[in-house]
Structure 1
Amino acid sequence: MPSQTPLIPRRRLGQELRRLRELRGLHLEDAADHLECSPSKISRLETGQGVPKARDVRDLLDLYGVGDQRLRDQLLRLAGDGRRQAWWQDLADVVSSAMDTFISLESEASNIRYYVQSTFPGMFQTEEYARELFRAIYPRDDDVEREKRVRLRLKRQDILVEREDQPRIGVIVDEATLHRVVGSPKVMADQLAALLQASERQGVTLRVYPFAAGPDIAIQCTFVVFTFESEYDRNSVHIELSAGDRWLEQESDITRYTRIFDDLGRKCLSAEASRDMILSMMEHYSSKEEQPR
């Protein structure tokens, strides 16, 4: 099944090109001289930041002495996938560069660990919850822009559900998120019902970090850990901060945030107790909705 996004095939191609170059004992400058381009272009190609051209890939494979036709065809297919437009191209005006990367990794990762403390993960948001959330955090958006954001969010959910290789998803929700009203009691009740339904999906583990667990340095920010089974893909951590998103790709950082996630998990309610708490809050919002005004 071809990749849904261009970033992952670009990264896979780039890592293999770098491996082949280093196997031949060549430097970036050697490859750049062969293509008659700058070393920075070769660097962007190897890091998955540049748009690969089939001719450049063929020329590099010739330089690296790659005669294996099967490998050449495989890398040229990756180059073709890397030139495709992302499925969200028609929504690009509401997709930042950080979100572009986030969606790409989310669409392909083998294991996704979410820790959220303000809102529920986009993957599990209902349409109305997402719409009311965007109304609050993007007050300057007009109706057209807001609906584009909603469409993008719902499409991300569809992509995840349709994946043949379903990822393992771990979610830790801070208890405060259950109490933070977005929209109305009805919106919250429906959202919590959807969250309970999502928690029953195969491969999904949902737990609540309760107030009773006390403070923890790890709950200073929302973060997501993306990991892959393929050795050709780079694991990443996304940290959401008010000053801007931050990406980490050093293996030491992946290990550190995975450990943080696991440490938080040990302080969480069990999956069953978490569902009970969510159900209780859902009934609370439903009762408020039914009260006469």
Structure 2
Amino acid sequence: MTKDDQPGSTLPRRQLGRALRDAREGAGFTLERSAQLMEMGKTSLGRIEKGQNDKVRLRDIETLGELYGLAAERVEELKALAQQMATKSWWQASRHLLFPGYNTYLGLEAGASRLSFYQPLLVPGLVQTLSYAKSIERNYLPNETPDDIQRRVDLRIRRAAILTRHRSPVTAEFIIHESVFHTVVGSPAVMAAQARHVADMGTRPNVSVRILSLSASLPPEGVGVPPYIMLDFPADSRGFTAEPPIVYTEGAIGTMFFEESDDVKRYREIHEAIKSAALEEKPSRDLLRQVARRHEQ
């Protein structure tokens, strides 16, 4: 488990760091010995292996590759990853608007192949309507300028493109508590449109929406569980192994990433238990449309 506010821990950085660590261990070097031979601090090399550096010098990759006996082709692949790190993501211009740790999450979300959400409090950002998102931002950040609120909303809405893009849309599963749609955000009209939008998104082949109804008996595994997102990653097209899955959670005082395999396994068990108590997909859509009609009345 790591508390992470490192802006560099996006997918290419993590892949590069993991590949260098695996190469070091495969060559039989300790972190201390490698750092000594590289004439750099142990902490500096450790940050590279953890994907926490904004930049990694290409000559350092070449030297590490020579030290670990990597083939020239593999070194070039690692250098290509380092060059990806220098490319600014589309949300970087709005980094000052992001909560601590969220920049890291966006970098991981952009590279994920599957997202699994549990949300008992709010409509998840990826399926929020424009009006709902604006109402949320105004309620939570009343001192923000209208321009900053609009930028936050634009950022949130733009993220949703990963679900609707034509090429390789992300597979996403949403388990949302019914109470989320009874809690009025903005106005009943906003909530009606929001409920219908989530129902419509659930008809997409890559999106699953399951509602945990008010009458559901929550399994013991789901008691006291905060909102979370599980992220699964694909293998790289150049042969890098898939990044291990991660669980991202948000709390009142910060964000947390769970990366240890036992922690992720436990969250998967919790997710399956909550899902077993939720409605199937079509009944979930039917319920959302019923809630929308009630708001419209």
TM-score greater than 0.5 by the shorter chain: yes
1:212 counterpart SS class? coil
| 1:219 Cα offset (Å) | 4.6
Change (3 A) 1:219 1:200: farther
| Contact 2:101–2:254 (CA under 8 A) maintained in structure 1 | no
Q: Displacement, 1:73? A: 1.4
CA offsets per residue over residues 23-67 of structure 1, 9 Å max, x none?
11112222222332211111110111012121211111111122x
Task: Say which of 258, 277, 281 aligns to 2:268.
Answer: 258
**1:207 matched residue in structure 2:** 210
- Give 1:174 deviation, angstroms: 0.5
3-state secondary structure, aligned to 2:175: strand
> For structure 1, which runs of at least 5 residues remain unmatched after alignment?
288-293
2:245 aligned to which of 213, 221, 235: 235
After superposition, the C-alpha distances for 1:124-183 in whole angstroms (9 at most, x for unaligned) are 011111011010111221112211111110121124433733332111110110101110
Contact 2:112 2:233 in 1 (8 A): yes
What one-letter code is carried by the residue in structure 1 that aligns with 2:132? Answer: Y
**1:69 CA displacement:** 2.6
- Given residue 233 of structure 2, which amino acid in structure 1 is its aligned partner? F
Out of 266, 271, 278, the position equivalent to 2:281 is 271
- Equivalence map 1:188-227=2 (5 Å): 188-217=191-220, 218-220=222-224, 221-227=226-232
> 1:127, 1:108 → 2: CA distance?
24
Residues 53-98 of structure 1, C-alpha deviation per residue, up to 9 Å, x if partnerless? 21211111111122x2321211110010012222211101112342
2:48 is equivalent to residue 45 of structure 1: yes
Query: 1:280, 1:95 → 2: CA distance?
Result: 35
Aligned residues: 282
Write the deviation string for residues 185-205 of structure 1: whole angstroms up to 9, x where unpaired. Answer: 111111112111110111211
Identity of aligned residues (%): 28
* Structure showing the higher helix proportion among its residues: 1
Residue 16 of structure 1 is matched in structure 2 by: 19
Alignment partners' CA distance in 1, 2:162 and 2:284: 27
- Please name the residue that 2:60 is paired with: 56
The one-letter code sitting in structure 1 at the alignment partner of 2:117 is Y
Q: Which amino acid aligns with 1:23?
A: G
**Contact 2:218 / 2:277 at 8 angstroms: preserved in 1?**
no
2:123 to 120, 125, 128: 120
Number of the residue aligned with 1:290: none
Judged with a 3 Å threshold, the aligned counterparts in structure 2 of structure 1 residues 168 and 193 are, in CA distance, closer, same or farther, namely: same
